[in-house]
Amino acid sequence: MMARRTGRRPGRQDTRATIVKAARTAFADRGFDATTIRQVAAAADVDPALVHHYFGTKNDLFLAVLDLPVDPAALLEEAVAGDPAQVGTRLVRAFVTAWDSPVGTAGAALLRSAVGNTTVARLFRDLVYGRIAARLVRRLGLPPQEAPLRTALVASQIAGLATTRYLLAMEPLASAPPEVVVAAVGPTVQRYLFGDLPAVTGEQV
Amino acid sequence: MMARRTGRRPGRQDTRATIVKAARTAFADRGFDATTIRQVAAAADVDPALVHHYFGTKNDLFLAVLDLPVDPAALLEEAVAGDPAQVGTRLVRAFVTAWDSPVGTAGAALLRSAVGNTTVARLFRDLVYGRIAARLVRRLGLPPQEAPLRTALVASQIAGLATTRYLLAMEPLASAPPEVVVAAVGPTVQRYLFGDLPAVTGEQV
């Protein structure tokens, strides 16, 4: 059956592109969680095993759709391990290190697309919440009722850093050494994750 | 002389559009400070008095180029007055209030353009530094050698709030009541403006 399908789609690149296109539509329409490899395969008219063969897991497929060379969640693994009192600093350092590398080019392209296109924005939100936040919450033990707003606040500072340092090249932030950025912004992320935020814990503000 | 020029450019709207186009090029090429009304008038082939007549000051012309219905610096006047210990809170409140109003639509359009277009990015940086930061520094008395990085850090959090709350609509931040946002983000801005930041003051980090 795969052989026959391969016969109709001779190029491996064509097949990959067809799967990515079907996956982009599925993720954008249903979100990451509700999308299955089986649905994507059906939409692309290929066998599910072929999707797994080309892309690996659903997570890998999602990264391929976003054209990200690395899994942002994997970059966070080291940052969320270790002393919780320094996790903000380590997260900002991991982020700046990644963006100062070629990974940043892919990140910039994704962020530019996301702010201008609602479909990509939906995929971006799924990346942040489904892929990154879910892992942060699990690893850091954030209370589930506080985690969404704390995560969004962290995202606001990190996205703002990406926007001003990289997309808009606002000096002196754009040229500041990584450790200057880490020292200034790390405590913000730390407070958003663990600080006493009445607005987050539901107390009267 | 103006009458003859008016004869060649019969429409007031045409003349306005010609001036805005010339001003956009001039601001983008030379920056806000180095651009003069006289240069813009010459490039648009009109009398400088006509530019003043249609647009007012150079600042007003700059806002027209950016298609902003209000002067962001004017929105800050109230925020920077009063108790310095609460200025971060008041700045975030002024920002959220403005973006939750129709002004936000213009702001969103400008930010979207800025991240995708280097010319608009240059104009945006001029807006933030030339128009907003200059006033903040003057009114808040920030040390001149610290002001640029402190301003850029404030911009990073505010731009990130605009990106996540408005452009990407990341929940629960997108739907959070203004006071929740103010309570969570105000202290960040306060710290960036006045906090003990070794990275900013030049101490070893």
Of B108 and B3, the structure prediction assigns the larger pLDDT to: B108
Residues of chain A contacting residue B128, judged by C-beta atoms under 8 Å apart:
170
Across the interface, whether the CB atoms of B112 and A116 are under 8 A apart is answered yes
Q: Give A70 to chain B, closest Cα distance, Å.
A: 22
Cα four-point dihedral sign B192, B194, B197, B200: positive
Distance from C-alpha of B131 to C-alpha of B129, rounded to nearest angstrom: 6
Nearest CA in chain A to B188: A188
Residue A3 has pLDDT above 60, yes or no: no
Predicted confidence band of residue A104 (pLDDT cuts 50, 70, 90): confident
For residue A204, the model assigns a pLDDT of 45
Query: Rounded to an integer, what distance in angstroms lies between the CA atom of residue A197 and that of residue B160?
Result: 19
Stretch A178-205: mean pLDDT: 84
Residue B115 has pLDDT above 90, yes or no: no
Identity of the residue in B152, B161, B188 whose CB atom sits nearest the CB atom of A172: B152
Q: For a pLDDT cut of 70, what percent of chain B falls above it?
A: 91
DSSP E strands in B8-81: the ranges are none
Tens of pLDDT, residues B137-149: 888 988 988 988 9
Q: HSE-up of B62 (CA within 13 Å, CB side)? A: 25
**Average pLDDT of the residues in B1-15:** 59
Q: Which residue of A has its CA nearest to B158?
A: A160
Residue B164 to residue A161, Cβ atoms within 8 A: no
B156 or A115, higher pLDDT: B156
**Nearest 10 degrees: Cα torsion A154, A156, A162, A164:** -130
Beta-carbon separation of A159 and B160 below 8 A: yes
The candidate with the shortest Cα–Cα distance to B67, out of B33, B115, B114, is B114
Provide mean pLDDT across the span B48-56.
Answer: 94
pLDDT at residue A55 is higher than 90: yes
Q: Any alpha helices (H) in chain A, and if so which ranges?
A: 2-8, 12-30, 37-44, 48-55, 58-65, 72-80, 87-99, 103-116, 118-126, 134-140, 147-161, 178-194, 198-201
Taking 70 as the threshold, does the pLDDT of residue B200 lie above it? no
Segment B182-187 mean pLDDT: 96
- Asked whether the predicted pLDDT for residue B192 surpasses 80, the reply is yes
Please tell me the distance in Å from A3's CA to the nearest CA on chain B: 42
Q: Are B160 and A165 an interchain contact pair (Cβ–Cβ within 8 Å)?
A: no
Measured between its terminal Cα atoms, the distance across chain A in Å is: 62
What mean pLDDT do residues A20-29 have?
90
Higher pLDDT, B159 or A4: B159
- By Cβ distance, the residue of B114, B159, B199 closest to A180 is B199
Distance from CA of A62 to the nearest CA of B (A): 18
Name every residue whose Cβ is closer than 8 Å to that of residue B179 and which is 6 or more positions away in sequence: A199, A205
What is the mean pLDDT of the segment spanning B82-91? 93
Categorize the per-residue pLDDT at A72 as very low, low, confident or very high, splitting at 50, 70 and 90. Answer: confident
**Rounded Cα distance, A169 and A144, in Å:** 36
d(CA B176, CA B165): 9
pLDDT value, residue B202: 59
pLDDT of residue B118: 84
pLDDT of residue A30: 84
Which tops the pLDDT comparison, A130 or A201?
A: A130
Between A116, A148, A173, which is nearest B172 by CB? A148
* Predicted local confidence at residue A33, as pLDDT: 83
Q: Indicate if the pLDDT at residue A171 is higher than 70.
A: yes
Residue A200 is predicted with a pLDDT of: 66
Q: What is the pLDDT of residue B3?
A: 45
Point out the residue among A116, A179, A191 whose CB comes nearest to the CB of B116: A116
Paired tokens of A144: 């589930």
Per the CB < 8 Å rule, is A160 touching B155? yes
Going by pLDDT thresholds of 50, 70 and 90, the confidence category of residue A1 is: very low
Read off the pLDDT of each residue in B189-203 and give the average, rounded to a whole number.
81
Q: What is the mean pLDDT of chain A?
A: 86
What is the average pLDDT across B51-79? 87
The whole-number pLDDT of residue A51 equals: 95
pLDDT at A123 over 90: no
A70 pLDDT tier (thresholds 50, 70, 90): confident
- Measured in angstroms, the CA of B61 and the nearest CA of chain A are apart by 22
Q: How confident is the model at residue B203 (pLDDT cuts 50, 70, 90)?
A: low
The ipTM assigned to this model is: 0.81
